[in-house]
Amino acid sequence: MFRLALQLGSLLEPSESTRGALLACAAFAGAQAGLLLAEGLPPAALGVSAPSPEAARAIAAAPAVRAATELLGVSALPPGAAPLPGALVATAIPGAGGTQGVLLLARPGGQTFQREVRAALSMAMPLVGQTLDRARRHAELHGASLTRDGAVSRLAHDIRSPLVSTHASIEVVQRLLKGQPVPPTVFDALRTGLRSVQAAVELCNDLLEVSRLQHGFVIVPRPVPLERLIGDIYLLLRPVAEQRGLRLDAPPPDPALRISGDERLLRRMLTNLVANGLRFAPPEGFVRVEGLPGDEPGTLLLRVSDNGPGIAPEERERVFLPFAQGQGEAARGSGLGLTLCREVAQAHGGQIWAEERPGGGTMLVVRLPVG
């Protein structure tokens, strides 16, 4: 219990708190899958796809789940009561004003939860409730996701227009000065200005895209060939990799693999993932993009790995939060690229996570439905 308290004590951000609390409780109870659904906070999932807010409310309100949590405390659930495999338990999460959510845990393969485990979970729930209350207060005080504020997206839109005009004006100046007796330092300054303006435009684009997805943009799924998606991103970013002295590998996936989704958003997501790897890879390093059959029925996996410094285990969830940055030398970029990747993955009913690459470095993995 003391270790659980230490794990939960440092959590503040809403997404980080629900995800961290679920992972800590699953490890505490020896569960391999689970859901944490709390009022006003993002749902967290382990071993299954994260539900939409509407689906989360429906699961929490299901008669079997409500009976198990509100009437019986920690109790076994009948099969089919929740979208989790194997033996199930559910427990209510207390809050400042009463029950604020439900924790569902599962052990595939018929392994039941012993009475001692259920009793320990019941004792742990006040700690989880305090963690989620703290995350809710943090969100109210500090705005855990600034991009959810309509004012931010409007501001990004207003800033983007003059930036685009500035970019075009610098390009015009470059063309007018070409062939003229101008010191090389002038062209160096113009190129630096173009790069800076382009970076600001991309930040505004990310802000607008994240805001649109967070405000309920609905995906119209269509089959997207994985081979074409990876091939196009490879052709787009290989010159960038070569310019930086890096190797970009993209072995062709099975031509039969298709993603069910929005091709423009999927391209944006994969571009961000590869660009992230190119930023972190060391000189003469590499980034590898792979498309594989999924580890769950009806899914496929996108994996982008690099041999850079890697991400510390305690940072692997936080890097997907808005404006979060890694530590040390690799702390570069706007802090929105991976946030956008998570929003795109979740909008497609998928998941994204970071893990250590075998041999060192980072592997970002996206699980998506097949088309």
What does the pLDDT look like over 346-360, one tens digit per residue? Answer: 888 889 999 999 999
Residue 274, pLDDT above cutoff 90: yes
The order of strands in the sheet holding 286-293 is 247-249, 286-293, 299-306, 362-369, 351-356
Tokens of 113: 């939860």
Please state whether beta strands 247-249 and 286-293 pair in parallel, antiparallel, or not at all (unpaired). Answer: parallel
Neighbouring C-beta atoms of residue 266, cutoff 10 Å:
22
CB 294 within 8 A of CB 370: yes
Residue 157, pLDDT above cutoff 80: no
Identify the pLDDT of residue 370: 87
Nearest of 75, 5, 13 to residue 317 by alpha carbon: 13
Residue 332, pLDDT above cutoff 60: no
Residue 331 binned pLDDT confidence (cut-offs 50, 70, 90): very low
- One-letter amino acid for residue 277 of the chain: G
Identify the pLDDT of residue 1: 62
With 0-12 / 13-18 / 19 or more C-beta atoms within 10 angstroms meaning exposed / middle / buried, residue 335 is: middle
User: Can you tell me the mean pLDDT for 141-170?
Assistant: 66
Identify the pLDDT of residue 329: 41
Identify the pLDDT of residue 152: 60
The C-alpha angle 337, 338, 342, rounded to 5 degrees, equals 125
Identify the pLDDT of residue 211: 72
Residue 28 binned pLDDT confidence (cut-offs 50, 70, 90): confident
Tell me what the pLDDT averaged over the chain comes to.
Answer: 83
Identify the pLDDT of residue 141: 60
Tokens of 4: 């659980």
Nearest of 132, 367, 143 to residue 257 by alpha carbon: 367
The C-alpha angle 91, 15, 33, rounded to 5 degrees, equals 45
What does the pLDDT look like over 33-87, one tens digit per residue? Answer: 999 999 888 899 988 888 887 888 888 888 888 887 776 678 888 877 788 888 8
What does the pLDDT look like over 230-258, one tens digit per residue? Answer: 999 999 889 889 988 999 999 999 999 99
User: Can you tell me the mean pLDDT for 302-325?
Assistant: 84
The 3-state DSSP class for residue 368 equals strand
Residue 144, pLDDT above cutoff 50: no
Identify the pLDDT of residue 330: 43
Nearest of 162, 139, 291 to residue 226 by alpha carbon: 291
